[in-house]
Amino acid sequence: MDNRQVSASLNQLADLLEFQGANSFRIRAYRQAAATIAACDEQVVDRLDDPLRPLTDLPGIGKDLAQKIETLARSGNLPQLEELSKQIPLSVLDLVRVPALGPKKAAVLFRELGIDNLTDLRAACVSGSVAALKGFGAKSCEKILHGIEIAEQANQRMRLDKATHFAAELKSYMELARGAHHLEFAGSFRRGRETVGDLDLLVASTDPRLIMDHLGQFPEVGEIIARGETKMSVRMRNGLQVDLRVVAADAMGAAWQYFTGSQDHNVTLRGRAKELGLKVNEYGVFRILEAGAEERIASVTESEVYAAVGLPWIPPELRENRDEFRWADAGKLPELITLADLRGDLHMHTVATDGSGTIEQMASAARSRGWEYIAITDHSQRVSMARGLNPSRLRDQWREIDQCNQLWAGEFEILKGIECDILESGGLDLPDDVLAEADWVLASVHYGQQQSKQQITDRVLGAIEHPYVSGIAHPTGRLLGQRPPYEIDMAAVFQAAVRCGKFLELNASPKRLDLHDGHCSIAREKGIPIVINSDAHSVTGFDVLQFGIVQARRGGLTRSDVLNTRSLSELRAYLAKLRNRK
């Protein structure tokens, strides 16, 4: 098995154990190991015969987990997973992903009604069978029916991070095809949508047959849906559809622009071309001549295509027909932020709570990326399942941070932070005298997410107005494909952030990507600083920042819109200004 398959198997094992109601720390260990393996830059199987590089050297992987990973990598099977799969149909995992259910209630439905798939669950809700069960009721059924829609959408679309890993594997394979001169992905994947329904793959070649034959032999292909002279559609074993188009090299730019979309962007582009007496399609930009004749004037590159209609090249993340044409016409297309612009990460967790790296390990990993600073922001005491920190343990951690900072004085700095819960009744999870000692306070909602819009909004506004809070982490609480945003008045949140000078986080975890791109755009317009954070729980967790950057680019964010692109001295000045405002 390769790393992706090993990681998927570990996550599946964790899902089944969660369904069974197993120990939460055991489940978390499997999930952390899955994340570590997925982020590993070399294949696990290549390390197995090297005694100098045991798997136990990887973050969060002990002896028992290392043995399981070795079994998976070598044999492709794991006895524990096989045994659980015999006891529980894998289709029940779809039930667990219904936001209104969770593992315990899903297990009740399976045990009491034999429900093991979403189709049967919907039927049982409609018939009243679910409402009749103890602990459910009519209101629960309404929430479950809504949650089924969310779960079904998640099954139809793939998260950007998973699509990215799969696309890299597919690209490496397709680049080996004879006759493949140029290969690019297009569609919503290229535009950086947070989930994708399919992958659009373009290959420049003079021999479409060779290219399509090669794709058909990709080991992950489960079904060939259609095949023509230059087009081919396949469904992969993971359910993702790949649409291949083989194009001429001299039309690659036009095809890439056309199939990247979005549809609305292309409609506007074609309208502008028509006003100039031009026509744009997947083959190029054409000037309409007398008697209906056409002359192709651009096609080789995207820049040529846009220039032919009087526009600069527009970054694909902006091609949603929002502001890009207005900016382009005014010569004000933003210079979008890049990963290299970040100078630090201000949201991460350590072994003190639910992370797998020590303070020093997280700092060393950050330094290796060339950063100037990080903030350690473990959970506060309310998050008991993650062993959240009380005032005493938090102050002990801050003393440890002071010692680490002495080692790297002048070169790198660790800010003393906390992810402090916003309590259900309002107010913060730690007393003011503790928060006053922090360099960096993230406030977040983890509990009471079913409260009314007014209640949740009031809680968040209270945190924004608190003198020691730096900003709000993952402001809407969504989990893509698992949990919708909680009810919150974001207009009021934006107003409060402006009034109080506080930042809002763009949490780069691909399961969150919270804020979404539209909120990022609004924050930019209002001058609200955004902080792009990883929410890392291991030294490899920083890798997700690439997805936060894509989301930020979709929102039109530049380097100047993002707080953690600033130097340490500039960040310190910002924080000092916040404290003086109280």
Which CATH number goes with the domain that contains 483?
3.20.20.140
Taking residue 116's Cβ as centre, other Cβ atoms within 10 Å add up to: 19
Q: Does the residue 337 lie in any domain?
A: no
Given 281, 306, 329, the domain boundary residue is 329
- How far is Cα 192 from Cα 517, in angstroms, rounded to an integer? 10
| Per-residue pLDDT band at 349 (split at 50, 70, 90) | very high
- How far is Cα 140 from Cα 202, in angstroms, rounded to an integer? 46
The tokens for 505 are 């986080």
Check if the beta carbon of residue 533 is closer than 8 Å to that of residue 564.
yes
Query: Is the same domain home to 55 and 194?
Result: no
Given 141, 156, 171, the domain boundary residue is 156
> Residue 390 is part of which domain span?
342-581
User: Looking at residue 296, which CATH number applies to its domain?
Assistant: 3.30.210.10
CA-closest candidate to residue 177, choices 120, 215, 229: 215
Q: How confident is the model at residue 142, as a pLDDT?
A: 87
Query: Is the same domain home to 60 and 199?
Result: no
Q: Does the residue 414 lie in any domain?
A: yes
Query: Is the same domain home to 557 and 414?
Result: yes
How many domains in the chain?
A: 4
Query: Is the same domain home to 111 and 135?
Result: yes
CA-closest candidate to residue 282, choices 243, 242, 317: 243
Check if the beta carbon of residue 154 is closer than 8 Å to that of residue 97.
yes
Q: Does the residue 522 lie in any domain?
A: yes
Check if the beta carbon of residue 503 is closer than 8 Å to that of residue 470.
yes
Q: Does the residue 312 lie in any domain?
A: yes
Q: How confident is the model at residue 16, as a pLDDT?
A: 83
| Per-residue pLDDT band at 305 (split at 50, 70, 90) | very high
pLDDT in tens, 257-285: 999 999 999 999 999 999 999 999 999 99
* Weakest mean pLDDT among 128-142, 160-174, 485-499: 128-142
Q: Does the residue 309 lie in any domain?
A: yes
Residue 494 has pLDDT above 60, yes or no: yes
User: Looking at residue 172, which CATH number applies to its domain?
Assistant: 3.30.460.10
Q: Does the residue 334 lie in any domain?
A: no
Query: Is the same domain home to 409 and 495?
Result: yes
- Of residues 312 and 103, more confidence is placed in 312
Query: Is the same domain home to 572 and 540?
Result: yes
CA-closest candidate to residue 158, choices 187, 183, 179, 136: 187
Inter-CA distances, 270 with 245, 265, 266, 278, 308, Å: 21, 9, 6, 8, 12
Query: Is the same domain home to 113 and 257?
Result: no
Q: How confident is the model at residue 524, as a pLDDT?
A: 96
Residue 479 has pLDDT above 70, yes or no: yes
Q: Does the residue 189 lie in any domain?
A: yes
Residue 459 has pLDDT above 80, yes or no: yes
Query: Is the same domain home to 313 and 217?
Result: no
DSSP helix/strand/coil, 225: strand
Query: Is the same domain home to 561 and 420?
Result: yes
Q: How confident is the model at residue 155, as a pLDDT?
A: 62
| Cα 371 from chain centre | 22
User: Looking at residue 124, which CATH number applies to its domain?
Assistant: 1.10.150.110
Average predicted confidence (pLDDT) for the chain = 92
Given 156, 174, 209, the domain boundary residue is 156
Residue 582 has pLDDT above 70, yes or no: no
pLDDT in tens, 535-578: 999 999 999 999 999 999 999 999 999 999 999 999 999 999 88
pLDDT in tens, 116-163: 888 889 999 999 989 998 888 888 888 888 888 777 765 668 999 999
Give the length of the chain.
582
Which residues lie closer than 8 Å to 95 by C-beta, 6 or more apart? 101, 106, 109, 110, 115, 116, 117, 118, 121
Q: How confident is the model at residue 260, as a pLDDT?
A: 97
pTM of the model: 0.80
Q: How confident is the model at residue 39, as a pLDDT?
A: 66
Query: Is the same domain home to 286 and 184?
Result: no
pLDDT in tens, 431-446: 999 999 999 999 999 9
Query: Is the same domain home to 353 and 489?
Result: yes
Query: Is the same domain home to 440 and 529?
Result: yes
> Of 13-22, 413-422, 479-488, which one has max mean pLDDT?
413-422
